[in-house]
Structure 1
């Protein structure tokens, strides 16, 4: 990466007054994986990218768990992935994807300054993080209106349903502290997406969720059941990967190797047997769709998906999605997360089909603060 702006002056002392900690000074230092996992389990929602197990999945990075302490009490945690500079292994980019797990509602300098001081001392040349903080939410109806409006090119051109003042405040504080926004124009980049599509589950029933979907989604779910599509939770990662590679060739993206998914399954399941599931949709013995669901606390994610080109009319992908949504609801989740979308809405955009597929679920488009870098 490169930086066109000068780095901020040296970070302040690594001990600062905490936000929401009664005025106590926070310290940052390494914690064990067990301490980290216990902290994650005590939260209502934490990104799976901020679990200790995720460090074992990203084998090309060195990982460590850091904790924020108020005295002896652990009040925050983060998984840091370190990537060394070629030929300068002593220096690393320190990356906290969709984290850290701290109190973002108050003075964030009290949390991020000691983090920067610690990482700089241990050889980081820059920090990248992605606060799990929303800024804007658009209803499914608003997204649909934006797609059909001839003069609307981006989601941000559409009036939003809700703007989060916490998100606006976090952006302001990051800018004031010298952090640099890394969000690409189309919403996708080398990191994780700033725009996502989510289905709220809290307080809703299966009937509520079906009523919220568009007619096409409801018809496809009924069609899959009528055609006899059977969705099961399985273990056959090789069959999933074969179908995933087929999907990659059809849709022109680069697939991950089978070994990646084997590592992901082993690491996440070792941390929690219910952390990850493979859903497989079969029609008359043929695998027609397969998806991966990840869950941490009350948040569930559609992580990967694959579908066959043949037998698309039996709607195996819709059947898998509906099974995952129902299971997430039954598990007491607040959110079913369909992951990234682009903010571009014009008809010629190659990603608009993905937005249309997800908006049919009746959920909501959500903009997050995005990823930010601090040169050290």
Structure 2
């Protein structure tokens, strides 16, 4: 016999979620503290007094006393049990009506497809069956949306799994980029609030470069404070003065080599010397300009990671475009994932990518041998006669916001 309880403890909820195959950060009880502009409630669903499903629900107030309920990457349950699915949705509908909710939106951690980059895979039969069960229980599937910003959470993501990740498993060009970054003197640090100022500055530079609006230092501080033992910042930096000294040594070596050239020296060797000298001169000029402007040890790129239940999420990442020649993003993302697996994560999620698998996010994240995961996407559970009108207004508002 099924029953449900409103207001289960954070401890009971998290114990269930972290031991479930669908464990994810957005269903952690602490995530509601991050989204504190929404109200929150946790519901537990029981079979003969045993917890078999949970949902951490975000509640958004709407005009005229109405509300909207959202369950990010949940509910957490066995979707292969139609009776359980039906009971959970019926219970959510009852709860939603008490909150005067127009509808409940949820996007469960179910994959339609999952495979390595370039790997063709069929739709997962169990997910298609779950869509059928949810539909029969009254949920409306939004379907296979085409654009990245059509859903609250990305419907496609690039996720690195421990067993697929090592330097040897990366492409030759990616390995070379990592070696080049190291050879140029890029340093990697892992930390928390002591790296926050540099991280925030890099995020501001990223906002300016992409003409987008992200978050501020206070928000990043909140993430670290909410997950104090389950978070870290990866920061790559470069000591400009040390790099300059190294380049001057290389120039001296090239000059001494050129002095030994004779009429018998191969033209190719002379040309390589000339081209390398030119490259070094350009970089030296760049560094001298930055040093004269007061730069010494500069942050190049960074990422902020949150962990939960053996999972690892790369939440935000930024870079200083001025230092693109050092390719800091590649080594930063590589070291971020490596650190996640050293901390015993099962996977390290690099976040959303374009739904058509062709764009800047997809091509960059594909460098790290991730699995490309297509989520089932969003469902709406109507709970009011005003659902269809309100959902139309919601969809129009989301389209308008995505254009700005």
Question: Residue 162 of structure 1: CA displacement?
Answer: 4.3
Secondary structure at the counterpart of residue 318 of structure 1: helix
Secondary structure at the counterpart of residue 328 of structure 1: helix
Aligned mate of 1:278, from 211, 222, 233: 233
Question: Residue 45 of structure 1: CA displacement?
Answer: 5.2
Secondary structure at the counterpart of residue 52 of structure 1: coil
1:161 maps to which residue? 121
2:14 maps to which residue? 37
2:146 maps to which residue? 185
1:27 maps to which residue? 4
2 CA distance for matches of 1:122 and 1:241? 37
Question: Residue 298 of structure 1: CA displacement?
Answer: 2.4
Residues 1:363 and 2:318 are matched in the alignment: no
Residues 1:92 and 2:67 are matched in the alignment: yes
Secondary structure at the counterpart of residue 136 of structure 1: strand
Secondary structure at the counterpart of residue 261 of structure 1: helix
Aligned mate of 2:162, from 192, 198, 201: 201
| TM-score, reference length from structure 2 | 0.75
2 CA distance for matches of 1:254 and 1:98? 24
Moved more, 255-264 or 96-105: 255-264
Secondary structure at the counterpart of residue 128 of structure 1: strand
Aligned mate of 1:301, from 303, 307, 313: 313
2 CA distance for matches of 1:182 and 1:292? 31
CA RMSD of aligned residues (A): 1.9
Alignment of 1:35-74 (within 5 A): 35-43=12-20, 46-74=23-51
Runs of 5+ unmatched residues, structure 2: 240-296, 384-404
Listed one character per residue, the Cα deviations across residues 119-152 of structure 1 (whole Å, up to 9, x for unaligned) are 223332210011101111243134xxxxxxxxxx
Runs of 5+ unmatched residues, structure 1: 1-23, 143-159, 347-351
Change (3 A) 1:110 1:260: same
Residues 1:244 and 2:206 are matched in the alignment: no
Secondary structure at the counterpart of residue 310 of structure 1: helix
Structure 1 stretches of 4+ with a deviation exceeding 4 A read none
2 CA distance for matches of 1:138 and 1:38? 29
Aligned mate of 2:96, from 116, 119, 144: 119
Alignment of 1:276-355 (within 5 A): 276-284=231-239, 285-345=297-357, 352-355=359-362
Higher helix share: 2
Residues 44 and 55, structure 2, Cα contact 8 Å, conserved in 1:
yes
Q: Which has the larger radius of gyration?
A: 2
| TM-score, reference length from structure 1 | 0.80
